[in-house]
């Protein structure tokens, strides 16, 4: 059994904002939500299955703050590292932010991840980001700001804002999927990177599990990353499907670039793909997938 299992936990797909870049696939999103008792049972089973870290994500977890606090406490009780990914809507004032963050700290949250981008900025004030970060520092709660960017000059003022306020942040590449699928994609020309991926899985509120927590659920031509539903498989069985799949292991170790090369992609073509784009090119194509299964 793998002792380093991590998962993105989709308690609900409901969100209070509608960012243009979101990986949500449709304009009308089904607001699915897991039952609290179901979530408790699932996390307890994850603990028995050696899950070491859970990231509460999907929609906006803070819309169900009482439930999430209880689930965070359950993680802490079972020795599971817990993270919440949030847009920060709740940090409207420093006082309000302090109250919420102190509560999360009390319940045992390991880390808060705050999403920030020029698309978020249309819905969430920048002061909220400052308030949330300041409250985390006050409560000695680990945090970082996920700065989603297409690496264009349009984002320079946002990055400068983060620097000017001494905020901890990490640039995260925009994924051209879901609502961002139709975005204009600036041409890139990178070094010849391996393009490996750790592939942490994602559990939906409906208990479907996907091997990839980013755009994997969008690969509808092949359903390559779909592992199954927890109603039909145990958590350990679903993880084992991920851990024993030859192509998943190749993505983690060999990398997408060498896999693309094996299909005849030229090096000058490979360096023009972003990682998730190259992954989709390889695995959301029935023809390419068949060829890769024969090779690996």
269: left (phi over 0), alpha (psi -120 to 50) or beta: alpha
The model's pTM: 0.93
Nearest to 71 by CA among 114, 101, 30, 34: 34
**In this predicted model, which residue has the larger pLDDT, 188 or 67?**
67
Query: pLDDT tens for residues 172-227?
Result: 988 887 777 778 888 877 789 999 999 999 999 999 999 998 777 889 999 999 99
Report which DSSP code applies to 83.
Answer: E
Terminal Cα-to-Cα distance of the chain (whole angstroms): 23
Q: What is the DSSP letter of 232?
A: T
Separation in Å, CA 219 to CA 23, 26, 222, 245? 12, 14, 6, 17
Per-residue confidence (pLDDT) for residue 178, from 0 to 100: 76
Tens of pLDDT along 131-180? Answer: 999 999 999 999 999 999 999 999 999 999 999 999 999 999 888 877 77
CB 58 within 8 A of CB 12: yes
């Amino acid at each position: 059994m793998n002792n380093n299992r991590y998962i993105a936990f989709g308690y609900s797909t409901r969100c209070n904002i509608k960012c243009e870049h979101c990986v949500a696939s449709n304009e009308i999103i089904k607001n699915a939500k897991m039952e609290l008792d179901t979530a408790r049972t699932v996390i307890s089973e994850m603990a028995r299955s050696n899950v070491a870290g859970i990231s509460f994500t999907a929609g906006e977890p803070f819309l169900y703050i009482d439930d999430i606090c209880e689930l965070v406490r359950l993680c802490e009780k079972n020795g599971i590292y817990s993270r919440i990914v949030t847009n920060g809507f709740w940090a409207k004032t420093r006082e309000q932010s302090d109250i919420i963050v102190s509560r999360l700290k009390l319940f045992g949250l390991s880390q808060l991840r705050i999403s920030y981008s020029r698309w978020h900025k249309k819905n969430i004030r920048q002061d909220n980001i400052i308030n949330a970060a300041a409250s985390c520092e006050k409560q000695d709660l680990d945090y970082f700001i996920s700065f989603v960017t297409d690496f264009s000059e349009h984002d320079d003022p946002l990055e400068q804002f983060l620097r000017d306020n001494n905020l901890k942040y990490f640039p995260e590449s925009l994924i051209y999927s879901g609502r961002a699928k139709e975005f204009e994609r600036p041409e890139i020309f990178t070094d010849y990177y391996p393009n490996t991926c750790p592939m942490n899985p994602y559990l939906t509120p409906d208990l479907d599990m996907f091997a990839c927590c980013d755009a994997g659920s969008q690969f509808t031509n092949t359903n390559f990353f779909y592992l199954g539903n927890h109603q039909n498989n145990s958590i350990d069985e679903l993880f084992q499907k991920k851990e024993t799949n030859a192509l998943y292991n190749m993505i983690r170790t060999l990398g997408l670039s060498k896999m693309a090369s094996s299909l005849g992609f030229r090096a000058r073509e490979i360096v023009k793909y972003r990682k998730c784009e190259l992954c989709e090119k390889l695995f959301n194509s029935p023809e390419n997938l068949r060829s890769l299964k024969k090779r690996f």
